[in-house]
Amino acid sequence: MAIVGAEYCDPEERVLTVRKTSHFSPGDGFAAYDHRTGRLAFRADTYGRGHGGGAASAGELALLGPAGEPLLTVRRRRPSLHQRWEGFLGARAGGQKPLFSARRSSILGGAAAGAVVELLPPPSSSPPPGAAPELLRVDGSFARRCCRVVAAPRAEGEKAKLVAEIRRKVDEGTRVVMGRDVFVLKVSPGFDAAFAMGIVLVLDQIAGEEPGADDAGADALDAKIW
């Protein structure tokens, strides 16, 4: 499922260790490292400031590759009661159509509000008449670093498919659960890891550090994923 690019779709499960790089405000920065190689895979920093390193303009979020190349730009759509966000390929240019839109599942918010992501057709193509949009749903609580991203069934009889999962990071030596500033992103085989990181950026803005996002029950995620 290539959204940003086929090169980000690994045939095997890809595990990223994601570290929040700033505490000044929710979403100031992230660095994601590949579990197999230990190398930097993605980063998101200086967005919303409009300077350096391929950063987005003020009010936008930029997902960058390890060399600073812009992969995705995410911005909040205003006005929006559900905190609706749009994602664009690369460094967004004027008039560019979004790749996807995302919104909070519930207008009431809360630590476990979840989110819905809708994939949008490319500008050069039109969906068949009556075709349902491809939807992804985030179940659980990103604020607690315990949630799943699942693809909605496209046809009768199909099941929802797990495409990515966010979990708390456990120190392999001491078996101690680390703080929420370091977590694990597991990307299912064939799913676009850059797109998964784009969803993380949106979730950080939608959920952030919501009041009540304590550690209690962080591992108790409902088995039903749709």
pLDDT (0 to 100) of residue 50: 41
Residue 29's pLDDT is: 81
pLDDT per residue as tens digits for the range 143-185? 899 999 999 887 777 788 999 999 999 987 788 888 888 999 9
Residue 204 in this model has a pLDDT that exceeds 80: yes
Are the CB atoms for 192 and 8 separated by under 8 Å? yes
Task: Please tell me whether the overall predicted TM-score, pTM, comes out greater than 0.95 for this model.
Answer: no
Answer yes or no: is pLDDT of 47 > 50.
Answer: no
Q: What is the pLDDT of residue 54?
A: 46
Segments making up each domain of the chain, as ranges = 6-206
Whether 216 shows a pLDDT value over 60: the answer reads: no
The CATH superfamily holding the domain 6-206 is LURP1-related (2.40.160.200)
- Tokens 């009556």, located at residue: 130
Structure tokens that stand for 108 in this block = 């009431």
Confidence of residue 222 (pLDDT cuts 50, 70, 90): very low
Q: How far apart are CA 134 and CA 153, in angstroms?
A: 9
- Angle 218-223-224 (CA atoms, 0-180°, nearest 5)? 125
Nearest to 225, CA basis, from 156, 165, 139: 139
Work out the mean pLDDT of the chain and round it to a whole number.
78
Distances (CA, A) of 127 to 74, 119, 124, 184, 201: 23, 11, 10, 35, 27
Give residue for tokens 């995705």.
72
Choice between 203 and 128, residue whose per-residue pLDDT is larger: 203
pLDDT digits (tens, 9 = 90+) for 82-110: 578 899 999 877 778 999 999 887 654 55
| Beta strands, E only, 65-197 | 70-76, 85-89, 100-104, 115-119, 134-141, 146-151, 161-168, 182-187
3-state SS assignment for residue 225: coil
